[in-house]
Amino acid sequence: HAKEGRKSNFCFFSEELHQKITNRLELERDLRRAVGQGELELWYQPKMNLSSSRLIGMEALLRWKHPVYGIIAPGQFIHIAEETNLITPIGEWVLKEACRQMKVWLEHGMEGLSVAVNISFRQFADHEFPELVAKALHEAGLPPQYLELEITESVAQNAMHAISALTKIKELGVGVSIDDFGTGYSSLSYLSQFPIDRLKIDQSFVRNLNASNQAIIRSILDIANHMNITVIAEGVETLEQVHFLQQHRCQEAQGYYYSKPLPAEQAFEYMVKHSGKT
């Protein structure tokens, strides 16, 4: 029987699938070395204030400079990192690198800005995570108000842990955003239980401003306003979207309309132009 099963598996093992699996093992092997080899890089995407059109901060977005495949976006490897626990060393590197970079920018006079770091639910689940954040700030010499963490609604699955971890993070003085808001499965009740500063409306609602997405955005703004939570719209690409968001008093926006994610040096040039200091 076992033999038969294997045989039939073999039949379904198409060339294409084989390619994918080899590729995945290859990526996993390469990813294991990427941190040590210095192949990871952070790019930065501006976040803007919608009433002043000024820059308020930068979101760090991970890029992998693969020696053969070139620049790989996180959508293609973060899930592998999560499944293999490589997210631990990678996430630690991201946190430290973002703090180091923000400290450099601070020393160049960018006091009005902050840096946001995406945190995987796997990293967040680790009981030592708040200490890791404290350590990253301390090592970089970065005051906590210049750091913000972006977590997704998925962390609400373990509400007790999330409340305790978020409370510790807030005690450090670090900001917290809920990323991709509106796409998760969790209930709205956690909004009142979790100490959060900002909601990031998922780009899927912003991209297509049809009647129902407009209604969803208005509801999110309404709830957030009542709770004193700032709202930022993600994936803003057009002036029409900017106008809609301004009309409905959305405070902040981020997207290709302003800028794509930029390598650190170009991000600094963008800052100099848009921070309102010049």
Q: By the criterion CB under 6 A, which residues form the site for ligand C2E?
A: 45, 61-62, 73-75, 78, 91, 94, 118-120, 150, 179-180, 203, 234-237, 255-256, 261
For residue 241, what are the CA distances in angstroms to 122, 130, 168, 226, 235? 33, 36, 36, 23, 10
30 vs 150 by CB, closer to Mg ion: 150
Question: Which residues pair with residue 70 across a beta bridge?
Answer: 66
β-pairing, 114-118 vs 55-66, is parallel
Binding mask 225-254 for Mg ion (x = CB under 5 A): ---------x--------------------
61 binds, among Mg ion, ligand C2E, none (CB under 5 to 8 A by kind): ligand C2E
Query: 138 — phi, psi (to 5°)?
Result: -60, -50
Structure tokens at 195: 């100490």
30 vs 180 by CB, closer to Mg ion: 180
73 binds, among Mg ion, ligand C2E, none (CB under 5 to 8 A by kind): ligand C2E
- Tell me the closest approach of the beta carbon of residue 73 to ligand C2E, in angstroms: 4
- Tell me the closest approach of the beta carbon of residue 116 to Mg ion, in angstroms: 7
Structure tokens at 104: 């450099």
- Tell me the closest approach of the beta carbon of residue 134 to ligand C2E, in angstroms: 19
74 binds, among Mg ion, ligand C2E, none (CB under 5 to 8 A by kind): ligand C2E
For residue 168, what are the CA distances in angstroms to 171, 173, 175, 188, 192? 5, 9, 11, 22, 17
144 vs 235 by CB, closer to ligand C2E: 235
DSSP 3-state percent helix, strand, coil across the chain (nearest 5) = 55, 20, 25
Binding mask 95-134 for Mg ion (x = CB under 5 A): -----------------------x----------------
Structure tokens at 111: 């006091």
Q: Is 150 helix (H, G, I), strand (E, B) or coil?
A: strand
- Tell me the closest approach of the beta carbon of residue 234 to Mg ion, in angstroms: 5
- Tell me the closest approach of the beta carbon of residue 174 to ligand C2E, in angstroms: 16
CA–CA separation, 275 and 49 (whole Å):
10
Structure tokens at 260: 């794509």
The one among 148, 153, 179, 252 contacting Mg ion by CB under 5 A: 179
Residue nearest to ligand C2E (CB): 255
175 vs 235 by CB, closer to ligand C2E: 235
- Tell me the closest approach of the beta carbon of residue 15 to Mg ion, in angstroms: 32
Burial 88-122 (b: 16+ CB within 10 A, else e): bebbbbbbbbbbbbbbebbeeebeebbbbbbbbbb
Restricted to residues 138-177, the positions that interact with Mg ion (CB under 5 A) are 150
30 vs 217 by CB, closer to Mg ion: 217
- Tell me the closest approach of the beta carbon of residue 257 to ligand C2E, in angstroms: 7
For residue 188, what are the CA distances in angstroms to 6, 42, 157, 168? 47, 32, 12, 22
